[in-house]
Each structure stands twice: as C-alpha cells, then as structure tokens.
Amino acid sequence: MARIPLEDNFTDVIGKAQRGWHITDAELCTRAGVTPADLAAVKAGQPMDAVLRRIARHLRLDPDALEDLAHLRWLPRQPVFPRGFAMFNTPYEDCRVNSYLVWETRSRIAAAFDTGADCTGMLDTIAAERLSVRYIFLTHTHEDHVADLARLAAATGAEVWASEREPAPHAGARTFGENSHFHLGEIAVKTLLTWGHSPGQTTYFVTGLSWPLAMVGDSLFASSIGGSPQHFAEQQRNDQEKIFTLPRDTVFACGHGPLTTLAEERAHNPFFARPRRAHPLPPGPAEGTDPVEPAAAKPTPPPRSGRPAPGSWRRKPGRPHA
C-alpha cells in the first residue's frame, strides 16, 4: 500500500488547539505578542517560525514540534508487521479513513477494527488469508468509521462490539466497559476508554503480535490529536494517561493518517512533545527524521526510540469529526 500522508498539517494543529482551548484570534495575538496580520498569514499556511514559536506556548503546543511539522522535517517511520496485521485506507468525502485486521496466524482467528468507508479490501484479505473473523471492534461510531458495518458483519458473522458509552448502530451489537479483555488465541485485546473526541472513543491495546499495538481511532494522529471543541481537555488528558503510558515501542494504528509509535509521538507530536530547546525563538533548521521502511523479508526490531513509520492525508481545517 502506498505511503499514507499525515492527517493534519500545522494549521490544522493550531486550529484544533485554538478551538479546544477556546482562544480567539484576538486573544491569541494579545497573549503571544504577534500582529493579526502575522497570525492570519500563519493560519493561511505560511510557516513563519518566530510567530509559530510565540503562539505555540499559548496554545499549549511544543514550539519545536510545531515548527518541525510546519516544515515537514519529520515523518513517522513505517513499521512492518511480518504477519497477522493488515491496514486499509479508504476515501470518505474529503478525507481518508483507516480500518484494520489482526489475526493469529495458527488458528486464523481474526478481529476487525472499524470498517472504513468500504470494507471490500478487508473482505478480500479475509478470503485470501482464510480468516475467521470473530469480532468487529469499533473505536467510535462516527459515520466514516462505521460506514460499511452492516456489510462486514453480514459477510463475516462476527460479533460487533463498542463501548457502553457509545453503542454500535447495529442490531445485536454488544457493549463493553473499560478494561475489558478479549482473546484471539495467543493475541490479547484490552479496552481503554480514551473519550473526548466522542463519548465512547476507545483505544484497543493488542499484544501477541511482533510489537505491542494500540488501535487509537481518532484519539490521536501522527503529529496531532482528535479534535473536540467541547471535551478537548478530557481528550488530551485521556491520551496522556492511558495511551502515553503504554510500552514505549507501542505502534499506534490511528483512525486517519499513517501508523506511528509512542516514542516518536512523544518526541514529535506538538500536543505531547517536551521542549528540546531553551531559547524562545528558532535558531535555525532542526534536524528531521527521514522516513525509513525496514526490509520486508526479515524486519529488524525498530530502534528503542520508537519503531515505525511514515505518511500524511491533509484534512482541511475545521472538519468537526476528526
């Protein structure tokens, strides 16, 4: 599959932070000491480093990570799972959405995570790998993530599961509470309630594959976060407390955009990164991380700083559901 672009660019990140913290342009200009013209230019897509660094602090964003994102100096390295994992990326209106399959290679028992806009590719993989899909897990019930739920459920006969706080729009669907456990042979799935973007937004922590895996849905994207004008603080806190406390080599399978890892997001996501430089204004270009794809034949374990990988769909600023 072709490399998937980032879901959000730096203007999307600024917009999400502004809406989430309820900061107007006028307030931001006053707090950061920038002119309305310069702020408008940045929000229109001009990566003016001095302005970016000034407004970042007042939006609770890491200035270094925001500056790097504006200049595309970093993209997550693409992790390779040699077996038992497949990712699907389908178009939905003006964006693209991800869905996933996980399976145990010996028993061929599988679980699907969301359906995307079209589950045709997933059904083809199920047939090609001779899989028996036991569960369909929903990260949340926004239309782009459940658009083909009826078809996938009918074709596989799988149980449909979602959070008790956000039941699935499907007859016979079942619900779980936080910290529920499911098993696919030796593969274990644990539910973590990471709400904020939606009432029942759930992260599924999967162990038993090559690397630990978190199906984060729209809780988190590479270099960004799921938007939430009403519950942004809760979204960010849940991400910090429940997702960023997972093992450092955990791969994040996001609802939009490319795969990434906890370690890389800790270093490069403007919402979660820690400051790397003490000075208030940019001294010059920061070092970037070039995307690297490990060899598919016998992938080496990713570095301890974070294992995986690249990509990037840009959504226009202001889309409410991501």
Same domain, 83 and 210: yes
Domain total for the chain? 2
- What's CA 69's distance to the chain center, in Å? 16
| Look-up of token digits 């230019």 | 41
Same domain, 66 and 92: no
pLDDT in tens, 35-81: 999 999 999 999 999 999 999 999 999 999 999 999 999 999 988 89
Q: Whole domain around residue 141: which residue ranges?
A: 76-268
**pLDDT of 85 over the 80 cut:** yes
CATH number of the domain bearing residue 31: 1.10.260
Same domain, 200 and 252: yes
Q: How many CB atoms neighbour CB 300 within 10 A?
A: 9
pTM confidence score: 0.85
Same domain, 177 and 129: yes
Same domain, 187 and 66: no
Q: Are 194 and 243 in contact (CB under 8 A)?
A: yes
Mean pLDDT calculated for residue range 94-121: 96
Same domain, 27 and 143: no
Mean pLDDT calculated for residue range 124-144: 97
**pLDDT of 226 over the 70 cut:** yes
What does R_g of the chain's alpha carbons equal in angstroms?
Answer: 19
Does a structural domain hold residue 181? yes
Q: Among 21, 45, 70, which residue terminates a domain?
A: 70
**pLDDT of 302 over the 50 cut:** no
Same domain, 60 and 198: no
